[in-house]
Amino acid sequence: MDGNATLPALAVERLSVALSGRTILDHVGFSLAPGSFCGLIGANGSGKTTLLRSILGLVTPSGGTIRCAGGKPGQAIGYVPQKIQFDPFMPLRARDVVGLGLDGHRFGIPLPNAARRARVAAMLAAVDAERFADQRVGDLSGGQQQRVMIAHALIRAPKLLLLDEPLANLDLRSIAEVVGLLHRLTEKQGITVLLSAHDMNPLLPVMDQIVYLAHGRAVSGTVADVVRGGVLSQLYGYHIDVIRVHGRVLVVAAGGVEAQDGSLLCDPVHVAPIP
Amino acid sequence: MVLSDFLSVLAGFWQNGPVQVALAVGGGAALVSAVVGVFTVLRGQAFAGHALADVSSAGGSASLLLGLRPLVGFFAMAALAAGGMEALGARAVRERDLVTGIVLGAGLGLTALFLYFDMTSTATTGAAVSVMFGSMFALAPGTVTLALGVAALALAASAALYRPLLLIALDPDLATIRGVRVRAVGFAHVVVLAMAVSLSAMTIGAILSTALLIGPAACGLRLARRTGTAIAIAAGLGLLATWGGIFLAYDSFYWTPGHGWPVSFFVVAIIVGAYALTGLRGRAG
Ligand SMILES: Nc1ncnc2c1ncn2[C@@H]1O[C@H](COP(=O)(O)OP(=O)(O)OP(=O)(O)O)[C@@H](O)[C@H]1O
Ligand SMILES: [Mg+2]
């Protein structure tokens, strides 16, 4: 099985998706090496969610191929959807949500089972969620809920983990914690991570690869290869400057306008005050 | 002596035939409504539950005309409505409310027709009250087996759907990628819901069955951190309200000379009281 090591964990070729007659993705192609950490970067509405849902088989593409090492999505791919809204009345502890990741698709009531309980506990420990494992999920903070959902996605030991904007609404500390956790997963367990975000900056220290989406098209490669004025100008179809300052990357469209808070509006990253 | 009065009432209560039937059928209805109610609230289908109950009243009133067992009529109509809602198939919540409202309107139109015929035929003059507000003490003894059979079937189906329903409530996409047939499970749940509301329509009445479906479940969801606990609290409260209501209604024959108070009133009063109390309390296990 040595040959498998060279097979990509995920290969997307000429993927096109149309929703309600509108082209959302247009000949998107990229492939991910096993164990790599990849950021899927694009502005709101650029098609990040659509791309992830296509990989999962939730959206039917109008063309192209998607190949995933290891077979069926539910088995080989873990998924953390964009902004899960936990009903405040949802009668589930963090522990129960993780348990549903293991056998939620089965019929019947889960019977008390020591092996199952141990597996859930180990997963909660792996995402550092033991402290709040017995609280109702609806009562947890955004960062805590995100870790619970990551545990839910990981408990069946998938090879590929897709996360849709898991860093949105998190404060800087929680962002660092979640990114660090995912980075450790790629390093220690060889899991391939594809994570969507509109801001690439928190991912810069850990990203092996970037897939940059704009106007339904994508470029991919290392950050150094892709996040360049020339490459992004070609993708957007108008002039883009990439500014590197204080270890942050700012992608600025020509003619960017002042926003009300005094920051420069650009696409897709707001120029945020440097913390 | 107040105590000896109470004990003699209690002795008569246990030995009374209609009371025994009411305790059995009402208990089954309460148990099923509580369990199904928890998932119904989680799925945001309280309105659909109420609509199915109202529509089932068309079946209940028709069964009186045709001489069928009321439970058969209630369930046939509720199941038909469930199928109708599924056929009109609406994904979005707003759309779903619309479809529910349309099916509800159509069903109540039929109820009006059948109840009118019921009332004009001398044999079934009390039909409107018994269909809408229940006839706990007028249940035919032969109904017990059928009602408890339907109750057992509904409980078994709810147990089977337990985990898939929770996973769907968490996120339908997550359920889909794990191979859950989200739509089929949803439809199966609506059929179980139709069984639950038919049982309670027959006992505490079509209109008040919503109280038995939603009230205990809402209390359980307020108090519990775990699904099992929420269901246990809902089931306990549903049984307490129904059995307590039956006892109070029986006892009320001694309060007001000549007539008692309706069971449904007491059942709903206990549920509303319990819901108000749960607002004051923290969470259980
Ligand atoms: N069901 C649909 N029918 C038609 N258009 C759709 C549908 N779903 C999404 N779209 C459109 O597809 C485009 C891409 O949407 P998508 O949700 O994939 O973007 P995104 O990059 O995930 O955005 P965000 O950062 O806001 O999550 C958007 O312009 C959206 O309006
Ligand atoms: Mg999105």
Query: Which of the four pLDDT bands, split at 50, 70 and 90, describes residue A269?
Result: very low
Instruction: Please determine, for residue B91, whether its predicted confidence score (pLDDT) is greater than 80.
Output: no
CA angle A19, A22, A23 (to 5 degrees): 90
Measured between beta carbons, the chain A residues lying within 8 angstroms of B283 are 136
Which ipTM was obtained for this model? 0.87
Of all residues in chain B, what percent carry a pLDDT higher than 70? Answer: 93
Measured between beta carbons, the chain B residues lying within 8 angstroms of A152 are 174
Out of B171, B177, B226, name the one closest to residue A93 (CB): B226
Domain boundary among A157, A179, A207: A157
- Residue A190 covered by a domain: yes
Is the C-alpha dihedral spanning B226, B35, A155, A77 positive or negative?
negative
Tokens for B75, please give them.
């369930």
Query: A59-73, B71-85, B119-133: which range is least confident on average?
Result: B119-133
Minimal-distance CA residue to ligand 1 atom 31 = A45
Return the residue in A86, A92, A135 with the most chain B beta carbons within 10 A, the one to mutate for interface testing. Answer: A92
Of all residues in chain A, what percent carry a pLDDT higher than 70? Answer: 89
pLDDT per position as a tens digit, B7-60: 887 887 777 788 888 889 899 999 999 999 999 999 988 888 888 888 888 888
Q: Where are the alpha helices (DSSP H) in chain A?
A: 48-55, 73-76, 94-103, 114-126, 142-154, 172-189, 223-226, 229-236
pLDDT at residue B66, rounded to an integer:
83
Q: Where are the alpha helices (DSSP H) in A104-157?
A: 114-126, 142-154
Tokens for A124, please give them.
């909660």
Instruction: Please determine, for residue A262, whether its predicted confidence score (pLDDT) is greater than 50.
Output: no
Can you give B144-205 as a three-state secondary structure string? HHHHHHHHHHHHHHHHHHHHHHHHHHHCHHHHHHCCCCHHHHHHHHHHHHHHHHHHHHHHCC
- Residue A26 covered by a domain: yes
Same domain, A97 and A232: no
Tokens for B83, please give them.
């199928």
Same domain, A145 and A166: no
Same domain, A207 and A232: yes
Question: Identity (one letter) of the amino acid at B253?
Answer: F
pLDDT at residue B137, rounded to an integer:
78
Stretch A96-106: mean pLDDT, rounded?
Answer: 94
DSSP string of B47-66, one letter each residue:
HHHHHHHHHHHHHHHHHHHH
CATH number assigned to the domain comprising residue A3 = 3.40.50.300
Measured between beta carbons, the chain B residues lying within 8 angstroms of A110 are 163
- Residue A217 covered by a domain: yes
Stretch A14-42: mean pLDDT, rounded?
Answer: 94
Query: Which of the four pLDDT bands, split at 50, 70 and 90, describes residue B205?
Result: confident
- Residue A71 covered by a domain: yes
The reply to whether CATH 1.10.3470.10 applies to domain B2-277 is yes
Same domain, A41 and A143: no
Minimal-distance CA residue to ligand 1 atom 25 = A44
Phi and psi, residue A257, nearest 5°: -110, 155
Query: Which of the four pLDDT bands, split at 50, 70 and 90, describes residue A268?
Result: very low
Residue A37, helix vs strand vs coil: strand
Q: Where are the domains of chain B?
A: 2-277
Residue A224, helix vs strand vs coil: helix
Tell me the HSE value of A137 on the side-chain side, using a 13 A CA sphere: 26
Instruction: Please determine, for residue B244, whether its predicted confidence score (pLDDT) is greater than 80.
Output: yes
Stretch A216-240: mean pLDDT, rounded?
Answer: 87
Query: A63-77, A186-200, B116-130, B250-264: which range is least confident on average?
Result: B116-130
Same domain, A130 and A1: no
Does the beta carbon of A60 lie inside 6 Å of ligand 1? Answer: no
Q: How far is A56 from chain B (nearest CA, A)?
A: 7
Q: How far is A151 from chain B (nearest CA, A)?
A: 13
pLDDT per position as a tens digit, A119-169: 999 999 988 899 999 999 999 988 899 999 999 999 998 999 999 999 987
Cβ atoms < 10 Å from Cβ of B40: 27
Does the beta carbon of A72 lie inside 6 Å of ligand 1? Answer: no
Same domain, A61 and A99: no
Query: A44-53, A241-250, B31-40: which range is least confident on average?
Result: A241-250
Same domain, A147 and A175: no
Is residue A197 within 8 Å of A7, Cβ to Cβ?
no
Question: Identity (one letter) of the amino acid at B73?
Answer: G
Same domain, A72 and A94: no
Instruction: Please determine, for residue A236, whether its predicted confidence score (pLDDT) is greater than 90.
Output: no
State which residues form the domain around A45: 1-76+159-236
Mutation choice for ligand 1 from A17, A19, A163, CB with most ligand atoms inside 8 A? A19
Stretch A231-239: mean pLDDT, rounded?
Answer: 83
Out of B163, B226, B283, name the one closest to residue A100 (CB): B163
Same domain, A61 and A89: no
CA angle A209, A215, A218 (to 5 degrees): 25
Of all residues in chain A, what percent carry a pLDDT higher than 90? Answer: 57
Measured between beta carbons, the chain A residues lying within 8 angstroms of B170 are 84, 90, 92, 97, 100, 104
Is residue B101 within 8 Å of B48, Cβ to Cβ?
no
Minimal-distance CA residue of chain A relative to B222: A89
- Residue A253 covered by a domain: no
Tokens 């033991």 locate to A130
Q: How far is B218 from chain A (nearest CA, A)?
A: 9
Number of domains in chain A: 2
- What distance in Å separates the CA atoms of residue B146 and residue A111, rounded to the nearest whole number? 30
Domain boundary among A137, A157, A177: A157
Mutation choice for ligand 1 from A16, A24, A60, A163, CB with most ligand atoms inside 8 A? A24
Does the beta carbon of A47 lie inside 6 Å of ligand 1? Answer: yes
- What distance in Å separates the CA atoms of residue A26 and residue A18, rounded to the nearest whole number? 9
Q: Give the global pTM.
A: 0.89
Same domain, A9 and A26: yes
- Residue A241 covered by a domain: no
Residue A103, helix vs strand vs coil: helix
- Residue A273 covered by a domain: no
Same domain, A201 and A213: yes
- Residue A66 covered by a domain: yes
Q: What distances in angstroms separate CA A213 from CA A13, A239, A272, one per listed residue?
A: 15, 16, 21
Same domain, A148 and A216: no
pLDDT per position as a tens digit, A209-222: 999 998 889 999 99
Tokens 């939603």 locate to B214
